Each structure stands twice: as structure tokens, then as C-alpha cells.
Amino acid sequence: MSTTEKPFETEEAAAAAGFATHHGEHDHGAGAGLIKPSYDERLTNEDLAPLKEQTWSWYNIFAFWMSDVHSVGGYITAGSLFALGLTSWQVFVCLIVGITIVLFFCNLVAKPSQRTGVPYPVICRSVFGVLGANIPAIIRGLIAVAWYGIQTYLASASLDILLVRMWPGLQPYADVTQHGFLGLSTLGYATFALLWVAQAAVFWTGMNTIRKFIDFAGPAVYVVMIALCIYLLSKAGWSVNLNLSDHELSGGKVFTTMLAATALVVSYFSGPMLNFGDFSRYGRTFKAVKKGNFWGLPVNFVFFSLLTVLTAAATLPVYGKLITDPVETVGHIDNTFALVLAALTFTTATIGINIVANFVSPAFDFSNVSPQKISWRMGGMIAAVGSVLLTPWNLYNSPETIHYTLDTLGAFIGPLFGVLIAHYYVVHKQRVCVDDLFTLDESGAYHYKRGYNPAAIWTTAIAAAFALAAVFVPGINRFDDYSWFIGCGVGFAVYALLAPRMGVSDSPLDQKVCVK
């Protein structure tokens, strides 16, 4: 067996090894891939193939996480932790512990894709089989489509508020009962369409433009957030109370609430954490990815949370009430420039988080289903169109629908993560045969049973059942805050035990060229 650290260092090395390299004006948005003649076209396109070059620095990974955190939802989530009845230092303990857990898991899931240069659904072929990988890909893709629509709708609703604040004459067009249909106002459709087109435009230009956009967006949002924080603190006389709750916990309730708060932090990142390989594949080295994760997760998230709580705390003495929604906070500022700047900031932040968390992922996922018919770009546009057809404004306004659809799909995220980590680190001992990810030949290491790995599929189903029980079964659903941990833990343990008993081991890799 031979081992290499990366797919190839140069295009010339790739060509010498028998890979097809592509030149010319035909641009594949996800990055130029290296395709061997032996690769089966039913599993291959240039977007899914191992990257010719891995060019992202630690800062690019850092900026990715900034874009994932900087959103209205992230602001409200961070602020809500300080309203649980915990003291400020207890909340920061939860934040630091939670984000450290996220950092640990992100480093685990980043390695196989960075080493091989392939995205999440392709690395899943080593786990679920070359055909079975479509199971996790479709589940993750559907979740992303729904949240893509919801995030776009929430940002458009924020824009509606600010536009009406600047031009009160628009108020009738923001009222769905006066001007609207299918549950959304005319102004709502206009702002939703504006954001939808803006996101699609950035996505369509490809990963290189996306990288440049998030490199800019993360720091830009911080500048505005810091300015808002300083403005409100000065208005409050530089004296605020960081305990935002109107009640105080004691005894065992403190411990259980801290556990729930820590779990909330991990759950918030569970989606992008699962498919982080879609981005870590671009990292120059695994060391660069880990450095970017460190600055983008614990450092960035704790600083963002500190800004959030300071800003929210300052609203109490300044406006006479606690405001945890940044849109409402800005709406109280009687300054047109500030409102316009806020509108641009919310738009930038939404485009950033939606692209990194909910656009790139389904693009790869849907492309994996039929690589020759669905390119990365087409996969992304399928997700974008699907997000509109779901009418996310109706979905968001029906908590019961969200509970029974997205929570059900979300219960699979933990199991999928646990199975992937168990397979890569325990069963196959950090080895991946890249060539066999792209072959349907029965001699391929990932052919298993007709292209499917029964051990991975059964384990996912078993672990998901445990996670679903924690969400839906009366008496057990008090553990719903921990459904990701339950699914991940059961998935990891069951697969590590079940896989060897069902004939899955690393012995088929001994005679193959592997990446480790």
C-alpha cells in the first residue's frame, strides 16, 4: 500500500498519474477537478472530482465561520442564552464549552475531505457505498433547501421593516391583507426576490467569488456591529447589566440549564458542521484548516456573543425595554443613514450565511445524485427554486409544520455525523482510496453490496430512531435539546460495533493507493 498527503501538488503531477486536466473557458464553479479515464461517468463530474489545486488559507476558513455566525438568527440565538436565568459568567462557560465541542468535531470531519480534495457527498461514498451516499446527500440537501428559504424570508422581513421605517408610504404594501397573496405581502415578495437573486448571482459566479465575498462580508458585518454596540453603550453611559433574564436559577436547575445551553450551541452549528468537508476540501493543508477553525469558532463566536449581549443589554437603559432582535434595535435609531447601512448589513450577512450553510451544500448533494445531468451550479439552482416552491413564509409561520418536517430530518444529522466519524477513524483507520470513490466496479473498496453499505444504512436508521424518540415521544422528549448528541453517540457506537460484524473493514484498502 502507498500513501500520499494530498491528491496532487501540481497539474503536471496529476497528468503524469493519468488524470484528465481541463483548460479553456469552460468554468466549473466548484473548482477544477482531476478526472482519471477509469472514473465511471455515472459518479463523476469536474465539480465532484478531486481538486486540482487546494488554495484556501486559514483566513478563508476563518471568514467562512464568520459568515456562518453573522446573521439575525445567530444574533438572536446568542442573545437568548443570556435570558435563561444564568449569570453572565455561566453563559460564557456554556459558550466556550459548546464551541470547543464544535471545534473538535469540525476538525474531525474536515480531515477526510481536505486530504482527498472531495466534497461531503463524495466522501460519504466511502461510508455508505458509491450509490448509498445519495441517502445522506439527499437528507442534508433537503434540510438546506428548507432553511435557505426560511433564512431568505427572515432577512426579507427585516428589510421590510427598515424600508417601511424609511418610507412610511410603503406600509400598505407590507400588509398581506391589503396587498398580498399566498401568505406574503407585495413588499415581502419584492424583498424576497431581491435577496433571492442576489444570493443566486453570487453563487453562480463560482466558489472563487464566494470565497472573496465571505472574506469581505465577515469583517464588514463586524464593523457595523461594533459601531452599533459603541453607539448604544455611549447612550447608556457605558454602564450595562449583562444578566438579561428577569429571573434567577438556583440549585440543580442551574446545571441542567447550562447543559441545555451548551447543547444549543452545538445544535446551532450541526448543519454546516456535517457538510464542512464541502469547504475544508479547498484548504491548502489540514493545519491551515485547523487554524481557521480555531479563529473562526471559539475566538469569533465568543467575541460575536460578547458584542451581542453588550448591544442587547444597552437597549434596556436606552429604550426602556430589552431588545434581542437587531432589526428592531436599529429601527429605533432615528437616522436614515444608519437604517440604510443596517439594511445593507443584514443583506450582506444573509447572503453570507445562506451561501455557506444552505446553498453550497445542496449544490454538491444534488449533483452527486446524477453527476452527468446535474452540475454543481444546476444543483444549487434546484435548491434555490425549491426554496421558493416551499413558500418558506408559510413554513416559518407554522411551528407545528417545522417541528414535524425539519425536526424529523434534523434528527438524522447526528447519526450521519457519528457514522461518518466512526467509519473514517475507527473502521478504515483514516485511509481513503480516492480512485474507488469513482468506480462502480465490484472490486472497488466501496462497492459493498451493489453499491450500498448495509451496516451504515442500518446504523443510521437505528440512531435516527433514538434521536426521533428524544424529539417526539412523550416522557422522553424532555431530552430533545440533546437529540444531536444522542443520534451522534448511538451512530458512532453502533457502527463501530456493527460494521466489522457485517464484513466492513480496512483490509480491502491494503493493496490500494490510499490517502491518509
Q: What is the pLDDT of residues 284-300, one digit of tens each?
A: 999 999 999 999 999 99
Whether the per-residue pLDDT at 9 is higher than 50: the answer is no
Q: Determine the average pLDDT of the residues in 308-332.
A: 87
Q: Cell for 38?
A: 477509469
CATH code for the domain of 215: 1.10.4160.10
pLDDT confidence of residue 397: 74
- Residue 158's domain comprises 55-406
pLDDT confidence of residue 346: 78
* 294 contact partners, CB below 8 Å, separation of at least 6: 103
Q: Determine the average pLDDT of the residues in 349-361.
A: 87
Is residue 293 included in any domain, yes or no? Answer: yes
How far, in Å, CA of 358 to CA of 142, rounded?
A: 10
Q: Read off φ and ψ for residue 398, nearest 5 degrees.
A: -125, 85
How far, in Å, CA of 268 to CA of 106, rounded?
A: 13
Q: How confident is the model at residue 406 (pLDDT cuts 50, 70, 90)?
A: low
Whether the per-residue pLDDT at 425 is higher than 80: the answer is yes
Whether the per-residue pLDDT at 414 is higher than 70: the answer is yes
- Between these two residues, 247 and 88, which has the higher pLDDT value? 88
Q: Determine the average pLDDT of the residues in 331-352.
A: 82
pLDDT per residue as tens digits for the range 487-501 = 999 999 999 999 999
How far, in Å, CA of 430 to CA of 516, rounded?
A: 6
Mean pLDDT of the chain: 88
Q: Determine the average pLDDT of the residues in 137-157.
A: 89
Strands 180-181 and 184-185: antiparallel
Is residue 179 included in any domain, yes or no? Answer: yes
CA distances (Å), origin 399, targets 171, 175, 236, 475: 26, 21, 36, 21
User: What is the share, in percent, of the chain residues with pLDDT greater than 70?
Assistant: 93
pLDDT confidence of residue 510: 82
Q: Determine the average pLDDT of the residues in 460-464.
A: 96
- Between these two residues, 42 and 351, which has the higher pLDDT value? 42
Closest to 18 (Cα-Cα) out of 3, 38, 46: 38
Whether the per-residue pLDDT at 21 is higher than 60: the answer is no
Q: How confident is the model at residue 6 (pLDDT cuts 50, 70, 90)?
A: very low
Residues 455-467 as b or e (16 or more Cβ within 10 Å = b): bbbebbebbbebb
Total of domains in the chain: 1
Q: Determine the average pLDDT of the residues in 308-336.
A: 86
Radius of gyration in angstroms for the set of CA atoms belonging to the chain, rounded to a whole number: 23
Q: How confident is the model at residue 454 (pLDDT cuts 50, 70, 90)?
A: very high
Amino acid letter, residue 403: H
End-to-end CA distance of the chain, in Å? 11
pLDDT confidence of residue 402: 65
| CB burial of residue 414 (10 Å; 0-12, 13-18, 19+) | buried
Q: Determine the average pLDDT of the residues in 47-52.
A: 94
Is residue 119 included in any domain, yes or no? Answer: yes
Is residue 473 included in any domain, yes or no? Answer: no
* 192 contact partners, CB below 8 Å, separation of at least 6: 152, 153, 156, 184, 393
CA distances (Å), origin 488, targets 120, 269, 465: 17, 14, 12
Helix, strand, or coil here: 87? coil
Beta bridge partners of 51: 33
Closest to 333 (Cα-Cα) out of 347, 313, 345, 319: 319
Is residue 220 included in any domain, yes or no? Answer: yes
pLDDT confidence of residue 3: 47
Whether the per-residue pLDDT at 199 is higher than 80: the answer is yes
Positive/negative CA dihedral, 501, 503, 504, 505 = positive
How far, in Å, CA of 307 to CA of 221, rounded?
A: 12
How far, in Å, CA of 202 to CA of 195, rounded?
A: 11
pLDDT confidence of residue 330: 83
Whether the per-residue pLDDT at 435 is higher than 60: the answer is yes
- Count, residues in the chain: 516
Q: Determine the average pLDDT of the residues in 419-434.
A: 96
Neighbours of 389 (CB within 10 A): 9
How far, in Å, CA of 318 to CA of 326, rounded?
A: 14
Among the residue ranges 53-57, 129-133, 373-377, 479-483, the one predicted with the least confidence is 479-483
How far, in Å, CA of 407 to CA of 277, rounded?
A: 23
Element containing residue 514 per DSSP (H, E) = strand 513-515
Is residue 326 included in any domain, yes or no? Answer: yes
| CB burial of residue 235 (10 Å; 0-12, 13-18, 19+) | middle
Q: Read off φ and ψ for residue 390, nearest 5 degrees.
A: -75, -10
Whether the per-residue pLDDT at 18 is higher than 70: the answer is no
How far, in Å, CA of 447 to CA of 459, rounded?
A: 18
Q: Determine the average pLDDT of the residues in 441-446.
A: 93
pLDDT confidence of residue 45: 94
Q: Determine the average pLDDT of the residues in 249-262.
A: 87
Residue pointed to by grid coordinates 453562480: 204
Is residue 34 included in any domain, yes or no? Answer: no
Is residue 81 included in any domain, yes or no? Answer: yes
Q: How confident is the model at residue 27 (pLDDT cuts 50, 70, 90)?
A: low
Q: Determine the average pLDDT of the residues in 184-191.
A: 94
Q: How confident is the model at residue 405 (pLDDT cuts 50, 70, 90)?
A: low
pLDDT per residue as tens digits for the range 209-247 = 999 999 999 898 899 889 999 999 999 999 988 877 777
pLDDT confidence of residue 17: 45
C-beta of residue 263 within 8 angstroms of C-beta of residue 481: yes
Strands 2-4 and 513-515: parallel
For every residue of 449-478, DSSP letters joined together read BTTB-HHHHHHHHHHHHHHHHHHHSTTTGG
C-beta of residue 290 within 8 angstroms of C-beta of residue 296: no
User: What is the share, in percent, of the chain residues with pLDDT greater than 90?
Assistant: 57
Q: Determine the average pLDDT of the residues in 464-485.
A: 90
pLDDT confidence of residue 248: 76
